[in-house]
Amino acid sequence: MNITERLEQYVKIHTTSDENSDTFPSTARQTDLAKVLVEQLKELGLRDAAIDPNGYVIAHLAANTDKDMPVVGLLAHMDTAPAMSGKDVKPRIVHYEGGDIALNEEKNIVLKAEDFPALEDVVGLDLMVTDGTTLLGADDKAGIAIIMAALQEIIEKDIPHGELAIGFSPDEEIGRGMDHFDVEAFGADFAFTLDGSRLGEVQYECFHAVSAKVDIQGVSVHPGSAKNKMINAIALGMELDRMLPEQMRPQYTEGYEGFFHLDQFHGSVDSAEMAYILRDFDAEKVQAMEEILRAAVEFLNKKYGERITLTLQESYRNMREKIEPHMDTIELCVEVMEKMGIEPVIEPIRGGTDGSRLSWMGLPTPNLFTGGMNFHGPYEYIPIQHMEAARDFLVALLAEMEKRA
């Protein structure tokens, strides 16, 4: 099975996670993919491949060298984002010669070169896309396909390597991917997530992340007799949002700039709920953002009476602090890419990965590219040649580690 066939098979399996679920994994359908992966790992010779009690697929490939080497972990996540449907995905391959791509002529869904200038970089390549009614799910089923294809090549060609630990996790997209991961049982000394985007990405920095839940209690009165009585919970929420720094919204930030993002807002006159995410690469700056939000809530509670409850919770931390002692591995990634003619792209993740959680759990885990673009929406695509480059890079990296051991 080649890498394209693997990805086509994986994206057709519905694995969307559910942030409103209280179970783990949040959806049973993620196990459908897990079962397929266990069987394929066993076919490759990883006899201990299994789904653990918490829904993680775990397997190990024994070293084929007698050198004393650290155990390297390779990880990707099985779920797809709830931001758009991941059911009945219809993948197809388009040989891209430039211009727009009609994803769905009947519904006039078009991947426009004007809107997505990165398409200029993939002219002449074969892109996997959908029919525009679902996301593709290359985030992160491309990562899974790359790991599986790399294992296949290492085993078939008997390429020297140290012991490898393989992990495929549920619920990464809803921030719970590592909630029940057993780092000790996994047994890796250092790991990589294959969950990046464009060709050449090597990422060892991510946001420091906090979630904020705002519960608002209004006073509902018939609008005809509401004067001096009604307190509209929706309007109160809008007032709160206006008090936050306008320039610190996602649409105005880039690079190392942090933001307040109003992610959800539901309600009525009587009550409303808001969900924010606070993001920055500096933990102290995120703490300052928390204080801004607390101050705004305190002001409005004095103005309207105690009507707003704010709950803050840390989601994940910047992994840089935990990976910096291992920068020799990052430098090796860059060296191997340059030898292969891949331009390394060292930049922070404006988001998080399972690796950010793992790094703070004692397993340093930077992130590597898959080649996918426009994740979480209908315009998602991935060049097959960039997936193949990720596979080849991974094989070359592991082989180089063995040479230098």
Confidence band for 351, pLDDT divided at 50, 70 and 90: confident
Contact present, 74 and 394 (Cβ < 8 Å):
yes
Q: What's the confidence (pLDDT) of residue 323?
A: 96
Helix, strand or coil for residue 59? strand
Share of the chain above pLDDT 70, in %: 100
pLDDT average, residue stretch 345-366: 94
Q: Is 77 annotated as a binding residue?
A: yes
Q: In CATH, what number is assigned to the domain containing residue 151? A: 3.40.630.10
Q: Is 171 annotated as a binding residue?
A: no
- Bond prior to 392 in cis (omega within 30° of 0): no
Condensed to tens digits (0 to 9), the pLDDT of residues 129-155 reads 999 999 999 999 999 999 999 999 999
On whether both 228 and 123 belong to a single domain, the answer is no
pTM across the whole model: 0.91
On whether both 346 and 292 belong to a single domain, the answer is no
Q: Is 392 annotated as a binding residue?
A: no
Task: Output phi, psi for 376, to 5 deg.
Answer: 75, 20
On whether both 360 and 375 belong to a single domain, the answer is yes
Confidence band for 350, pLDDT divided at 50, 70 and 90: very high
Taking the alpha carbons of 259, 300, 243, 19 in that order, is the dihedral positive or negative?
positive
Distances (CA, A) of 194 to 76, 172, 325, 365: 6, 13, 21, 10
On whether both 310 and 347 belong to a single domain, the answer is no
Q: Is the confidence at residue 167, as pLDDT, over 90?
A: yes
On whether both 327 and 297 belong to a single domain, the answer is no
On whether both 173 and 28 belong to a single domain, the answer is yes
Condensed to tens digits (0 to 9), the pLDDT of residues 32-60 reads 999 999 999 999 999 999 999 999 999 99
The distance from CA 187 to its chain's CA centroid, rounded to whole angstroms, is 23
On whether both 128 and 182 belong to a single domain, the answer is yes
Cα separation, 249 vs 226, whole angstroms: 34
Instruction: Among 252, 280, 315, identify where a domain stops.
Output: 315
> 10 Å Cβ neighbour count for 327?
11
Q: In CATH, what number is assigned to the domain containing residue 296? A: 3.30.70.360
DSSP 37: H
What's the token pair of residue 34?
Answer: 């897990």
Cα separation, 56 vs 180, whole angstroms: 9
Q: Name the amino acid, one letter, at 171.
A: D
On whether both 17 and 155 belong to a single domain, the answer is yes
Q: Is 32 annotated as a binding residue?
A: no
Confidence band for 286, pLDDT divided at 50, 70 and 90: very high
Instruction: Among 287, 315, 343, identify where a domain stops.
Output: 315
pLDDT average, residue stretch 164-192: 96
* Catalytic annotation, residues: 79, 172
Q: Is the confidence at residue 93, as pLDDT, over 90?
A: yes
On whether both 190 and 234 belong to a single domain, the answer is no
Q: What's the confidence (pLDDT) of residue 47?
A: 93
On whether both 311 and 367 belong to a single domain, the answer is no
Q: What's the confidence (pLDDT) of residue 103?
A: 98
Q: Is the confidence at residue 224, as pLDDT, over 90?
A: yes
On whether both 349 and 242 belong to a single domain, the answer is no
Q: Is 208 annotated as a binding residue?
A: no
- Residue span of the structural domain in which 252 resides: 208-315
Q: What's the confidence (pLDDT) of residue 352?
A: 85
Helix, strand or coil for residue 56? coil
Confidence band for 359, pLDDT divided at 50, 70 and 90: very high
Instruction: Among 315, 339, 356, identify where a domain stops.
Output: 315
Mean pLDDT across the chain, nearest whole number?
97
Q: Per the structure, how many domains does the chain have?
A: 2
On whether both 214 and 198 belong to a single domain, the answer is no
Q: What's the confidence (pLDDT) of residue 65?
A: 95
